[in-house]
Amino acid sequence: MSFVTEYLERRGVGYEVAEHPRALTSMAEARALGITADEVVKTVVLVTDRGPALVVVPASRRLDLRLAREAVGDHAARLASEEELQRSFSDCELGALPPLGSLLGAPVFVDPEVLEHDTVMFAAGTQTQSIKARCGDLFRGEEVQVIPLTRPD
């Protein structure tokens, strides 16, 4: 059991674990799982004037940095470097952050498109394991701000 699944168990969140070949990106994760990228969410870390912030978007979409900066209230916010990710989230492999702010100690901003899905898949802290959970259960009890973070193509 991983620290992510232990956390979900403590919170009473139902989930399914899916093992898959190593996936370095959320798009690769979707391919490895044999599902569409819309069903996978990616967690991106912004470095803000108040510390790291998690932004959660569908894997099929690109983060709009201008919208993300507005959401976090810091127009100088930037994407975290690999070194910063390893330092701040050492329990997680690169590219495998779960969208759980209370677990990772960071505020969470979720694109509304994520919540259009009944269930989502997300990285479980490793590049070879994903978790499927109902959105309502996953974000219940989390301090989440729902705000547009992507633009339509």
Q: With the C-alpha atoms ordered 13, 88, 22, 144, is the resulting torsion angle positive or negative?
A: positive
- 3-146: CATH number: 3.90.960.10
In the predicted model, is pLDDT for residue 64 greater than 90?
yes
Q: Report the pLDDT value the prediction gives residue 19, as an integer from 0 to 100.
A: 93
| pTM exceeds 0.85, yes or no | yes
- Name the band, by pLDDT with cuts 50, 70 and 90, for residue 142: confident
In the predicted model, is pLDDT for residue 24 greater than 80?
yes
Closest CA to 111 of 52, 41, 51, 49: 41
The two structure tokens encoding residue 27: 């798009």
- Name the band, by pLDDT with cuts 50, 70 and 90, for residue 66: very high
Most confidently modeled of 18-22, 92-96, 130-134, 141-145? 130-134
pLDDT in tens, 37-50: 989 999 999 999 99
Q: Report the pLDDT value the prediction gives residue 12, as an integer from 0 to 100.
A: 95
Cβ–Cβ < 8 Å for 10, 4: no
Pairing of strands 41-48, 78-79: antiparallel
Q: Report the pLDDT value the prediction gives residue 16, as an integer from 0 to 100.
A: 97
| Annotated domain spans of the chain | 3-146
In the predicted model, is pLDDT for residue 153 greater than 70?
no
Q: What is the 3-state secondary structure (H, E, C) of the chain?
A: CCHHHHHHHHHCCCCEEEECCCCCCHHHHHHHHCCCHHHEEEEEEEEECCEEEEEEEECCCCCCHHHHHHHHCCCCCEECCHHHHHHHCCCCCCCCCCCCHHHHCCCEEECCCHHHCCEEEEEEEECCEEEEEEHHHHHCCCCEEECCCCCCC
